[in-house]
Structure 1
C-alpha cells in the first residue's frame, strides 16, 4: 500500500514507556491509515480497544494489538475485482484473514460495520515510540534457515548400506548428491532436484488418496491462494462419511494434467491454462466455477531503471516454477513485447524464492500470476522499493487494471493482463460430488475468506467470467438456480 501520506502526515511519536501508545492514540493512527489507504470518508473507527503488545528487537520494537469496530460511511464492495479489496484492507489494518469479520460478499452498506483484530508496529527512536512500516515482519530474530551440509559415508560404514531398507538407501544416496551440489554452490541443480523430489512425493500421495477413495483437490504452492482455499475446502468437505484432501502442487498446468488423467477429482487452475490444455487434448476437463481475477504481475526493483517489458532483454528473469500457469503467461507477455527467451537469462524458482533473490540482486525481474495484493509482493515492497511493469498479450488473457495503492509505492494504477482462477473437475466426476463442493464453496464464503481474502470475490454472478472450457453438468444445474 502507498504509505507516503500516512508516514508524513501521521508520524505520531510517543514517550518511551514500555507499553507504547494507548487507545486514543491507536484510534487516531488506524483512522489515518484507513483514510490514506482508501478513499477518505469511506470508513470511521466506531470503537477501538487496546488488547496488549509484544516487544521484540531487544526492546526497540513493539507490536501493539487492538480490537476495533469499523463503520462504513458509504456503500462499498470489498469483493470487487477492480477496486481495493479485502486483501488491501487486511494490509491497512495490520490484520490477518482470520482477524476481519462482517465483510459482505455482496457489498457492505453505509452504516454497516466490520469487526477487526489488528496490529500497529512501533519502533523506538531516541527513546520515543514512532509508528513503523506496516509491511510484513522482516524480523531478523528468527532462527537462520540455511541448509545443512552432509558428509559422505566413511569407508568403514559403507559395508552395511546394502543391508538397509530400500528407502533408507535412497536417503543416503540423496544426502551424497545434495552434499556435492552444496560443495560446488550449484543452486540451480539444488532447485531442480527439490522440484523433482516434490513432484515424486506429490504423485505418490495423490495415488494413495485415490486408492483410498478420498475427494482429492490439487491446488498450488503452499504460500499461495489456491492452496489456502483448497485447505479450507478440505476441512469443510470432510465429514464422517467422506475424507477430502488438498495437495500442494506446482500450479495450473500440472493441475490440469492431474485432473484430466484422473489422478485428482478437483483442481484449481487459471482459465486460460485450462483452455490451452483442452486444445492440446485434455478432453476430460470440465469447469465447476470461476473464482476471482488473477493478474500477471511483473516485478522489478525501483532502482533498476527498467520501465517496460521490452527492457527485460539482457536481464535475469524468473518465469515461475515449471508446471505452473505463471510460465505460460510470462512467455505470452514476452512474445508480445518481442522479447525472446534467448535474449534473457531464464530461471524457474517461483515467486517466493524469486522475491528473495530480487532483494539480493541475484535476478532482475520475476513474473507472478495471481490475486492482488499478493502476499509475497506485499512483503517484498516492505523490504525494497519495487515497480510493476505494464503488460500486454495478444490472446487468451483479459485486460486487468491493478489499482494504485495496492502495494507500497504503487502510486499509479497498472494496466496488465490476466485471467480468472477456475475450479475444475474430471468430466466423469459424480454430480453429487460437484454439488457438494459448490454448496460448501458458496455457502461458506466467509469461512473461506478467513483462509484467503481472495475468496471474498467469489460470487455466482461472476461464476462464468472468463471460463473458456465446457461446464460440468452438475455445475450448470447449480449455477442456474
Structure 2
C-alpha cells in the first residue's frame, strides 16, 4: 500500500526532473551557438564541433527568466594551433568563449595538430524571449553572499590564537587602511606572514615567494609546491604582495626562490636612483615562465581614449609591493608626467581597483599580469563599456630601448569580451628568480621540476603549459644563476626539448640572452 501511495509522487518528481532538463533551447540550437562563438569570438575555421551532449540546466542566479545550459563537447582542430603561444589568442580566451574554465578543457598542448580533439565541459546562458530563447554573452555575476558565521574554535594557547587570527583574516581581507579595523587586519596579515615563513624554515622547507591569493603567481605556487614536495623538494608557497616584496625578501634572505616581473627584477638588480633603490647584485635569474603585459582599463563614460587623457584623472596604480604599482609608476613618469598630475593615485590591489572603477571612485586602473587577465575577463564579461587605454608609441619606444626587460607587444583583438581592436602596450615576462646564496643543486632540482611539471600541472593552473625550454630565457634581464646555466647546458647536450614549442615570435628573439652572462 505504501509503495502504491509513493508511485504518484515518484512519477511527479520524474516529470519535474525531465522538465528541468529540457529547459532552454534544444541540443541543435546549442551546438550551433557553440560553433558560432568559436568562429566569431575566437578564430574562424579553427575548430569544428565534433560531438555535443547536453548535460542539464539550472535557473540563472541573476535573471529570473534566464537559464544555464550545461554541456560536454569535443572540438576538432581544423589546422595546427598552439593554445599556449606567447603572442596569440590562447586557452584563457578560449575558455571564456566556451563558457568553461581552463580546467574544464582537456587535450591541449604546445603542439596541437589538425585532427586533434579538445574535450570541453562548459555552460551556455539563455533568456526567454516570447516563444524563443536568446543567447546571453554577458551576465552579471552572482551577488556576493553574506559572510558565514564564524566557526567556534575551542582551545587555548598560542595555537588557538593563531587559528583565530587566520579565521579572522579569511573573513575580513581588509580595506583601504583608513579605519582602525583595517589597520588591525594589515598588522595581523604581516605578522602571520612572518610566522608562516619561520614555520617553513623550522620544517626544513624552501620558501617560494609568489603573489596575492588568487593571482597567477600564487596559483602557480599552489599547484607547484605539492608537486615539488612529492618529488623530494620541500617548497613552501609564500603569499606576498607581489614582485617588489619578493625581490626585497630575497635580498634579506627570507626567501630562496620567487616570481618577479622582469622589469622589477632588472631595476632591483641595477638599482633606481629616482626611487632611492640601491642595487641588489646578488639576485640571479633561473627561467622566464610566461609573457605578461600592462593593461590600462577604464569605462566608456570616463571619456578617456588615449594615455594623455589620464592626466588629472583619479588612478589606481596597484598595491604597495606589487609589480603593477612599480610598472604603472615607471610608465607614468616615462610619459612625461609627475605623480602629482594624477589626482589621488590610489594604492589598491586588483579586486579593490576594479571595485573602485565600477563605483566611480577612480577613472582608470592599471593591471600588470598575464594575458588574458582573469579579473579583467570577468569585468568585460559583465559589462559592455570596458575600454583599454593604449600607451603612446613614443613612451613604448623609450621604455623598450632603455630597459632590457621591456618590449612593445600587441594583445590580439578578441582576447577580452568586446575587444574589437588589437591593443598595443608594454610587454615583459614573469621570471623565476633566486639569489647567489642558493646552492646549485637546489636551483637545478627546482628548474628540473618546473619543466617536468608543465604537462602534469596544466589542468590545475593552465599557465604552466606556457613553460618551455624554447622560451625559458626570453626577457631575462639579470645574470643567470650558475645552477641554472648548468641545467640548460645539460639540456642542450642531451638535445632534449620536452615542450616541442615552435620558435617564438621574432619580436621577442632580441631578448633571448641574459645580460652580463
Shorter-chain-normalised TM-score: which range?
A: 0.7 to 0.9
RMSD of equivalent CA atoms: 3.0
Q: Residues of 2 paired with 1:89 and 1:27: CA distance?
A: 16
Give the corresponding residue for 2:207. Answer: 216
Question: In structure 2, do the counterparts of structure 1 residues 190 and 380 end up closer, same or farther at CA, with 3 Å as the change threshold?
Answer: farther
Deviation at 1:449, TM superposition (A): 2.5
Residue 450 of structure 1 pairs with residue 482 of structure 2: no
Match of 1:415 among 417, 421, 424: 424
**What does residue range 117-266 of structure 1 map to in structure 2 within 5 Å?**
117-126=121-130, 128-134=132-138, 138-140=141-143, 142-144=144-146, 187=178, 194-239=185-230, 242-266=233-257
Question: Aligned partners of 1:39, 1:402: CA distance in 2, in Å?
Answer: 15
- In the TM superposition, residue 188 of structure 1 has moved relative to its aligned partner by 7.2
Task: Tell me the residue number matched to 2:102.
Answer: 97
1:294: which partner in 2? 292
SS at match of 2:428: strand
More displaced stretch, 443-452 vs 38-47: 443-452
TM-score using structure 1 length:
0.84
1:334 corresponds to: 332
Structure 1 counterpart SS, 2:354: helix
SS in 1 for 2:254: coil
Q: 1:436 aligns with which of 428, 445, 453?
A: 445
Answer yes or no: is the 8 Å Cα contact 1:51–1:67 preserved in 2.
yes
State the shift of 1:428 in Å.
2.5
Q: SS of the counterpart of 2:193?
A: helix
Distance between the aligned counterparts of 2:411 and 2:120, measured in 1?
25
Once residues 352 and 243 of structure 1 are traced to their aligned partners in structure 2, the CA distance between those partners, rounded to angstroms, is 31
Whole-angstrom distance in 2 between the partners of 1:443 and 1:327: 33
Change (3 A) 1:275 1:369: same
Judge conservation of contact 1:91–1:134 (CA < 8 Å) in 2. Answer: no
1:66 is the counterpart of 2:62:
no
Secondary structure, in 3 states, of the residue corresponding to 1:463?
coil
Would the aligned equivalents of 1:237 and 1:436 in 2 still touch at CA under 8 Å?
Answer: no
Cα distance per residue 1:421-478 (max 9 Å; x no partner)? 0011222223332233222222222333223333222211111111011112221122
Task: Return the offset for 1:260.
Answer: 2.1
The aligned counterpart of 2:498 is none
1:362 aligned residue? 361
Q: Is the 8 A contact 1:191 1:349 kept in 2?
A: no
Q: Which residue of 2 aligns with 1:381?
A: 380
How far the C-alpha of 1:203 sits from its partner, in A, is 2.2
State the distance in 1 between where 2:193 and 2:479 align: 28
Give 1:131 shift: 1.4
Q: Give the Cα–Cα distance (whole angstroms) in 2 for the partners of residues 221 and 166 of structure 1.
A: 24
Equivalent residue number for residue 5 of structure 2: none
Q: Does the aligned pair in 2 maintain the 1:381–1:407 contact within 8 Å?
A: yes
Q: Is the CA contact (8 Å cut-off) linking 1:310 and 1:338 kept in structure 2? A: no
Q: Partners in 2 of 1:305 and 1:196 — Cα distance? A: 39
CA distance in 2, matches of 1:361, 1:447: 43
What SS is found at the alignment partner of 2:348? coil
1:296-340 CA deviation, whole Å, 9 max, x = no partner? Answer: 110011221101222112211011010011111101111122222
Moved more, 56-65 or 70-79: 56-65
SS in 2 for 1:451: coil
Contact 1:79/1:85 (CA < 8 Å) preserved in 2?
A: yes
- 1:478 is aligned to 487
Distance 1:165 1:269, change over 3 A: closer
| Structure 2 residue runs without a partner (length 5+) | 1-18, 151-156, 271-277, 492-517
Partners of 1:188 and 1:316 lie apart in 2 by: 21
Match of 1:152 in 2: none
Looking at structure 2, the residues matched to 239 and 168 of structure 1 have their Cα atoms a distance apart, in angstroms, of 31
Distance (whole Å) between structure 2 residues aligned to residue 326 and residue 380 of structure 1: 18
In 1, Cα distance between the equivalents of 2:389 and 2:224? Answer: 34
How far off is 1:368 after superposition?
A: 0.8
Q: Mean alpha-carbon deviation: is it higher for 426-435 or for 330-339?
A: 426-435
Secondary structure at 2:326's aligned position in 1?
helix
The corresponding residue for 2:283 is 285
C-alpha distance in structure 2 between counterparts of 1:146 and 1:405, whole Å: 38
Contact kept? 1:67, 1:118, Cα under 8 Å? yes
Note the alpha carbon deviations across 1:245-293, whole angstroms, 9 max, x for none. Answer: 2121100010111222221111111111111111233222211110111
Give the conservation status (yes or no) of the 8 Å contact 1:234–1:245: yes
Please state how far the C-alpha of 1:165 moved relative to its aligned partner: 8.1
Tell me, yes or no, if the aligned pair for 1:285 and 1:425 is still in contact at 8 Å.
yes
1:98, CA displacement in angstroms?
Answer: 1.4
2:212 aligned counterpart, secondary structure? coil
Pairing partner for 1:315 from 313, 316, 335: 313
| CA deviations over 1:184-206 (Å, ceiling 9, x no partner) | x9757765664444233212211
Moved more, 414-423 or 111-120: 111-120
Secondary structure of residue in 2 paired with 1:461 = coil
Which of the pair has the greater relative contact order for Cα pairs under 8 Å at 6+ separation?
Answer: 1
